[in-house]
Amino acid sequence: MICNVLYLFEDFALDTKRRELRRGTTLLSIEPKVFDLLAFIIRNRERVVSRDDLLSSVWDRRIVSESALTTCINAARSAIADSGDEQRLIKTLPRKGIRFVGSVREEQMAAEAGAADKPTESIRPALALPDKPSIAVLSFNNLSSGGEPDPFGDGMADDIITALSRFSELFVIARNSSFSYRDKSTDVQQIGRELGVRYVLQGSIRRDGDRVRISVQLIDATTSAQCWAERYDRRLEDIFAIQDDVVRAIAPVLAAHINKAEIARTLLKPPSTWHAHDYFLRGMEILTNYLSTYDAAELHEARRLLEHSLSADPNYARAHSGLSFTHFTAWLNPVDGDFLKVEALERAYQLARKAVQIDSNLPVARAQLGMVLTFRRRHDEAVAEFERAQSLNPNFNDWRFANSLV
């Protein structure tokens, strides 16, 4: 929450210092969560605020039902004399989120001498540490020529998050929260306070032809002390061995009682070539962008890259799962000629089944199969797949399960 800022719009005033909403001289009654939601979307009015943004910032990453979220948004609209029909101030953008579209004027209120001279900045409240070892894995920095964001670095961090999340003894921050610090110079202690974790894993990747150098360090965010660090110089063919080495080194530091057999059981099953993994990461990055735009060209490009991944390794379960989703979303949404075509849903089903057959312990494959089964009206089987996914990884919470329950 931004401290000591007064937001003025129409005849309303939102006072973040006193946590009050006034209309003219009248003080309005408003629930704390409704106030926080309203302040958050006004503060971020230059962009669309997604459901994940709200859950992360307003509800501190707690699980909240869709109906509770909708009720809170409606209460915010009601508090400022708006409605879902008018959407004069709070506009809903289907499949994307909400945005505050009213004209706003800000006034900075000094809390202490010199405070008025400081630029307005977002200060997130500190979170209490959980009662078990906790870690945030940041997106790996790309140190290769150009320094542009590299899905390879995101994929490395994402795989480590997935591997660590399979340990029920650990508290692992989801990638949506930890990746929000990408390309930001944020102090590790601040990250620890804001995410409520004791440990932060940072890494970097430098690629040169078919060679890669990966550096990682595990930091105690409460003291900024370095607990462990390592550098790996390998051929790209050995990239999965590096991931395994990193997870094996981190897990004992975080939870000494996790035995070696459990670590070995939960490591990801890699594809046979790094080319398959590279195509998979690039395809999934474009597929993520597609979910914000629903642009057919992005969907088709993501599908092309995932098909290349399977050409390199026909037994890569994650690529089968991702490709299944491209056919499912084309069936579900009017983005191309596959909309509501039986053949598209059947293709999604066969690919999801193949993913589970290849790797029965892959939670995301179970979730994708559960999603397709839902729309084939095989609801008991669908719920069983999601429950299996969560039993494989106690920290696995996938949006598809919510859709299935609805």
Instruction: Give all domains of the chain, ordered by start, each with its CATH number.
Output: 5-117 (1.10.10.10), 134-266 (3.40.50.10070), 274-405 (1.25.40.10)
d(CA 379, CA 309): 31
CA within 13 Å, CB half, 15: 15
Q: In which residue ranges of the chain is pLDDT below 50? A: 1-2, 111-123, 256-265
What is the reported pLDDT for 257? 36
pTM above threshold 0.85:
no
What is the reported pLDDT for 354? 97
Residue 179 Cα distances to 33, 105, 138, 185, 393, angstroms: 25, 31, 6, 13, 21
N- to C-terminal Cα distance for the chain? 32
What is the reported pLDDT for 42? 92
What is the reported pLDDT for 230? 81
Q: Cα torsion at 7, 60, 322, 297 (round to 10°)?
A: 0
- Six-digit token string for 24: 């003219």
Burial call 28-59: b when 16+ CB within 10 Å, e when fewer: eebeebbbbbbbbbbbebeebbbeebbbbbbb
Contact 139, 182 (CB under 8 A): yes
- Six-digit token string for 52: 């994940």
What is the reported pLDDT for 118? 42
What is the reported pLDDT for 258? 40
